[in-house]
Structure 1
Amino acid sequence: MGDYISYIRGMVGHELVIMTAACAVIEDDEGRILLQKRPGGKWGLPGGIAELGEALHEAAERETFEETGLKVRAKTLIGVYSRYSAECSNGDKIQPMVALFGAEVIGGELKTDGVETLELKYFGKGEIPEIYCKQHEDMIGDYFTGKTGFFR
C-alpha cells in the first residue's frame, strides 16, 4: 500500500485524491463494538486503504488484522460512505470511499502496535468515546440503528 500511495503522491503532491478503503464492525457477545484509539487520542473503527488488486472485503479483513491482531471474516456489507473528505497530518488531501462490513472473529487475539493503534476496547451504543472523523461517527451511528445496504 505504501508504495502505491507514494507513487500517486509523487505525481499529485498533496492535492485531493480518491482513496478506496474498508472498515469492519466487530461486535462482542454483549453487543458492544470494537474501536481503536488512534494517534491523536481519538477513536475509530479498524480499517484502511485498499491495496492494488485487493477486494474491499479483503482490505477490511487485512487492515483489521494489522490494527487489532484479530483475524476476521467480512459477513455483511453495511453501507458505502463516499461523501467525505479529510486532510492527513502530512497535508495530503483525500476523499475516502469506505465500504463498511460487519465481520466475525475467526482467530487471533487483541494486540496494539503503539503506532497505528494505541488502545483497543469494546464500547456499547451509549458509551462511544470521541471519534476522530465524521465518516466514522456516521458509520458507528448507522451500525447501531441497524441500517444496511445504503450509501452516503
Structure 2
Amino acid sequence: MNTSTNNTTNNTSVIPVIGRVLLAAIFIFSALGKIMAPGATIGYIEAMGLPLASAGLVIAIAVELVGGLLLALGIKTRLVALGLALFSIVTGLVFHHAIGDQNQLIHLLKNLAMAGGLLQVVAFGAGAYSLDNKAVRPAAHLA
C-alpha cells in the first residue's frame, strides 16, 4: 500500500465532516428541545435529586448548543469533542443509571456510544473540512 496516497485520501475525505455533523446533531437538537421546554428539563433535573436545576439547565444548553456547533464546524475540535464525550458519560450515568428499565439502558448505551465516537474525533482530529484545518493549511496557490 502506498502510504502517501493513503494519507492524501484521508486528508481530503468528507467522512470526518459527515461524522462530526451527525454527532453534533444530537447535541444541537437536545439544546433546542431544552430551550423550547425548559420546565420539563428543570423538572427532570429536580427528579434526579440534583440541586440548582435552573443553573443545570443553562449549563446543559450552553454545552450542547455551543459544543454541537463548534463540533459541526470543526473549531477547537479535539478539545470540544473531549468535553462533549465527558458530558455524555456524566449525563448518561446521572440521568440514565436505572438500567433495569430497558429504555434507560438504551439511553445510557447511546450516551456511551456517542462518547466513543467523540473520542475517535479526539484521537484523529477534525479532518480536512474543518475550520481547524483551514487555519493551518496554506492556500493552494502558495503551497
With the length of structure 2 as denominator, give the TM-score of the two structures: 0.25
With the length of structure 1 as denominator, give the TM-score of the two structures: 0.24
Q: Where is the strand percentage greater, Structure 1 or Structure 2?
A: 1
Q: Where is the helix percentage greater, Structure 1 or Structure 2?
A: 2
Larger Rg: 1 or 2? 2
